[in-house]
């Protein structure tokens, strides 16, 4: 905190809350972009976009932000193109791993994923080499700053 000044303390709390909101808005904006690219900008005809809009409203994203995200993805405004990619490979001891990414730079992401596999003692395989072993059940999101569990324990919980 910042000493005895009440307003300085409030300022720090607001900064922390605003940063958290900004992260959520960014993630939802990317999801809106992907949904529009895959199924169009009309929520009546695009169920994925409709679901993302419902998620955005549940997270108190302003309507203006939602509409601007849809317009950017539809090409009405200048925007960054996000791509969804899936990487498959094997980790240590032959453990099958699937990595789903959302990126604006496919080459950078591929290099980062390849480096992570190599650093962990694994290797990237061809598309489809491990996906047949999995059924999609859900999504696990872990905030790196707030997670005090080590990687092994986290994998056991998943």
What CATH number does residue 100 fall under? 3.30.70.980
Q: Given this model, what pLDDT does residue 58 score?
A: 93
In a shared domain, residues 87 and 108: yes
Question: Domain ends where: 74, 102, 130?
Answer: 74
Give the domain extent around 65.
Answer: 6-74
Question: Domain ends where: 74, 96, 111?
Answer: 74
In a shared domain, residues 87 and 139: yes
For residue 31, the domain's CATH number is 1.10.10.200
* Cβ contact 109:82 at 8 Å: no
* Cβ contact 157:149 at 8 Å: yes
Write out the chain's pLDDT in tens, 158 residues. 456 788 888 888 899 988 989 899 999 999 998 999 888 888 899 999 999 999 999 999 999 889 888 888 887 765 567 888 999 999 998 899 999 898 888 999 999 999 999 998 999 999 999 999 988 887 777 777 777 777 777 777 76
Q: Sheet holding 96-103: strands in order across? A: 96-103, 83-90, 123-124
In a shared domain, residues 70 and 88: no
Q: Given this model, what pLDDT does residue 77 score?
A: 62
CA angle 98, 100, 102 (to 5 degrees): 165
> 1 lies in a domain?
no
Query: How far is the CA of 111 from the CAs of 66, 87, 107, 117, 130, in angstroms?
Result: 31, 11, 6, 10, 20
Question: Domain ends where: 25, 47, 74?
Answer: 74
Count how many domains the chain has.
2
122/97 Cα distance (integer angstroms):
9
């Amino acid at each position: 905190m910042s000493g005895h000044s009440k307003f300085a303390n409030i300022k720090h709390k607001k900064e922390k809350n605003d940063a958290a909101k900004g992260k959520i808005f960014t993630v939802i904006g990317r999801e809106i972009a992907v949904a529009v690219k895959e199924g169009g900008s009309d929520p009546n005809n695009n169920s994925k976009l409709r679901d993302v809009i419902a998620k955005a409203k549940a997270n108190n994203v302003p309507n203006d932000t939602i509409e601007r995200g849809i317009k950017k993805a539809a090409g009405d405004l200048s925007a960054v193109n996000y791509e969804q990619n899936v990487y498959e490979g094997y980790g240590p001891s032959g453990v099958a791993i699937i990595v789903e990414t959302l990126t604006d730079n496919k080459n950078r992401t591929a290099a980062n994923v390849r480096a992570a596999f190599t650093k962990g003692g694994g290797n990237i395989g061809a598309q489809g080499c491990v996906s047949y072993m999995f059924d999609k059940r859900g999504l696990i999101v872990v905030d790196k700053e707030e997670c005090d569990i080590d990687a092994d324990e986290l994998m056991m919980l998943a």
